[in-house]
């Protein structure tokens, strides 16, 4: 809730004992500044955020099918894609490619043992299957009719990881957000993330030793647990 001079965050009662909030204030400032962007770009940011929040509700009353549709819609809007598959397969990777110009890129590619190639073939395959899943559930058909390289839950968790990266890159493209080393590492490592299926590994303990970038991407690791009923 935004007041005249400050922002007030209300934490749901069921999360009060589950840790302290960790707010990305730079991203919050960038989202506030998005109002200064051209109207069409501002609209894409706003609608994509709305769809992303719908896709990541913590209530068990929202079916996975609705979350799948909203996840794809968020990615579609943030990349200003049409409803054609070839359009999002071109535009979303182009947004993420902003990290290729970072001064951290060369060092991180070496640490993550990544080649200099930027085809993003795994991301392309994931987008194609996410597109198919969205189309199937939107027409009321069972989700298991979609390609099964990733499960529906895995699609949702991956989407919850990819969308914020795409949003940050979009805001960075318009000089509202400055990508940090972690942002660049995650964007560069998406191919390994999507290929390794580490989505449901247990998150490391808060006091565990710091993971290095190479270790995070060459061993199973977690991008966070998705809190919802089975």
pLDDT digits (tens, 9 = 90+) for 3-13: 556 666 666 66
* Domain-embedded: residue 1: no
* Domain-embedded: residue 213: yes
- What is the pLDDT at residue 5? 64
* Domain-embedded: residue 154: yes
Q: Count of domains in the chain?
A: 1
Mean pLDDT, residues 159-163: 93
CA distance linking residue 29 with residue 24, whole number of Å = 9
* Domain-embedded: residue 2: no
pLDDT at 199 over 90: no
Range of the domain at 174: 13-218
Mean pLDDT, residues 54-74: 88
- What is the pLDDT at residue 114? 83
* Domain-embedded: residue 4: no
* Domain-embedded: residue 160: yes
């Amino acid at each position: 809730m935004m007041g005249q001079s400050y922002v007030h965050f209300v934490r749901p009662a069921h999360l009060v004992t589950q840790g302290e909030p960790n707010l990305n204030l730079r991203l919050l400032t960038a989202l506030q500044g998005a109002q200064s962007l051209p109207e069409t770009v501002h609209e894409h940011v706003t609608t994509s955020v709305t769809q992303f929040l719908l896709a990541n509700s913590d209530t068990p009353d929202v079916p996975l099918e609705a979350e799948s549709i909203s996840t794809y819609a968020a990615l579609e809007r943030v990349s200003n894609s049409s409803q054609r598959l070839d359009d999002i397969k071109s535009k979303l990777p182009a947004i993420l490619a902003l990290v290729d110009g970072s001064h951290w890129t060369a060092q991180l590619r070496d640490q993550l043992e990544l080649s200099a190639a930027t085809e993003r073939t795994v991301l392309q395959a994931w987008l194609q299957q996410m597109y198919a899943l969205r189309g199937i559930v939107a027409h009321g058909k069972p989700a298991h009719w979609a390609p099964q390289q990733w499960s529906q839950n895995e699609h949702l968790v991956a989407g919850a990881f990819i969308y914020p990266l795409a949003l940050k890159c979009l805001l960075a493209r318009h000089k509202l957000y400055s990508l940090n080393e972690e942002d660049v590492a995650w964007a560069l490592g998406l191919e390994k993330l999507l290929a390794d299926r580490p989505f449901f590994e247990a998150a490391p303990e808060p006091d565990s030793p710091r993971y290095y970038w190479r270790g995070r991407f060459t061993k199973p690791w977690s991008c966070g647990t998705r809190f919802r009923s089975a």
